[in-house]
A and B are shown apart, each in its own frame.
Chain A
Amino acid sequence: GNSVTQMEGPVTLSEEAFLTINCTYTATGYPSLFWYVQYPGEGLQLLLKATKADDKGSNKGFEATYRKETTSFHLEKGSVQVSDSAVYFCALIIYNQGGKLIFGQGTELSVKP
């Protein structure tokens, strides 16, 4: 089946530290990959996406590269800010299999001043 696995949280970092949140996937087709962010009490916001192998998605200093050989889509940011504190969800869609968005379990990030 199709699934997404993320590193467990919570992740606690100091401001300006380097962030990596690991995400791996299992897919029977050719997925598009996404990172969503959820701030406390809010809905989900699309952070970045990649639709084919070797694509790099980027937004607001965050990056993730679609690695087909390792079935991974790790999220990185070179210098985190307190305002980046949120829950991050990795997700995939396989459009020719009904187009359902399949989420990982989420990783909570807490950035301390």
Chain B
Amino acid sequence: DAMVIQNPRYQVTQFGKPVTLSCSQTLNHNVMYWYQQKSSQAPKLLFHYYDKDFNNEADTPDNFQSRRPNTSFCFLDIRSPGLGDAAMYLCATSTGRVGGYTFGSGTRLTVV
């Protein structure tokens, strides 16, 4: 089945140690998104790629970076994770047209 896959499901990292989360899709969608969701809150958009064009939300911290080497893969890099970065990170894709987003199962990040 075509889908959005996030790895790993659970990630534990040390305070200040760089960490990378990955997302892949078999839907061939143009647009890929990264959301941060903290406990009991709505997901918050960090950035998105429309094809190779990168779009950063104004309030996304500089600590967060992203790479999209090809259509299928997108990575979220957290350069120096702090305790406040512990959250569920959701990847999503869309065609950019009517139909909504398809979300992955998420990666739950714990910072120790």
Which residues does A use to contact B, with CB under 8 Å? Answer: 32, 34, 36, 41-46, 49, 51, 89, 93, 95, 98-101, 103-106, 108
Interface residues of B in 58-108 (CB under 8 A from A): 88, 90, 92, 94, 96-106, 108
B97 & A42 in contact (Cβ 8 Å cutoff)? no
Task: Tell yes or no: B2 within 8 A of A by CB.
Answer: no
Q: Mark B18-52, 1 if CB is under 8 A from A, else 0.
A: 00000000000001010000001111010010000
B residues neighboring A (CB under 8 Å): 6, 31, 33, 40-43, 45, 48, 55, 88, 90, 92, 94, 96-106, 108
Residues of chain B contacted by A100 (CB below 8 angstroms)? 45, 48
A69 to B91, CA, bound (A): 34
CA distance A103 to B90 in the complex (A): 14
Please tell me if the beta carbons of A46 and B101 are within 8 angstroms of each other in the complex: yes
Contact, CB under 8 Å: A41 / B108: yes
Nearest to A49 among chain B residues (CB) is B100
Query: Which chain B residue lies CB-closest to A44?
Result: B103
In angstroms, Cα B100 to Cα A89, docked, is 13
Contacts A95-B97, A99-B31, A101-B100 given; indicate if A43 touches B45 (C-beta within 8 A). Answer: no
Q: Nearest residue in B to A106 (C-beta to C-beta)?
A: B42
21 contacts between A and B (CB under 8 A): A32-B98, A36-B103, A42-B105, A43-B103, A43-B104, A43-B106, A44-B90, A44-B103, A45-B103, A46-B100, A46-B101, A46-B102, A46-B103, A49-B99, A95-B97, A95-B98, A98-B55, A99-B94, A104-B42, A106-B40, A108-B40
Give every chain B residue within 8 A of A43 (Cβ-Cβ).
6, 88, 90, 103-106
Given A44-B90, A46-B101: A95 touches B43 (CB 8 Å cut-off): no
A95 to B100, CA, bound (A): 10
Which B residues lie within 8 Å of A93 (CB)?
100
What are the residues of chain A within 8 A of B48 when measuring CB–CB? 100
Known: A43-B90, A43-B105, A99-B94. A106 touches B100 (CB 8 A): no
Q: Which of B6, B43, B97 contacts A103 (CB 8 A)?
A: B43
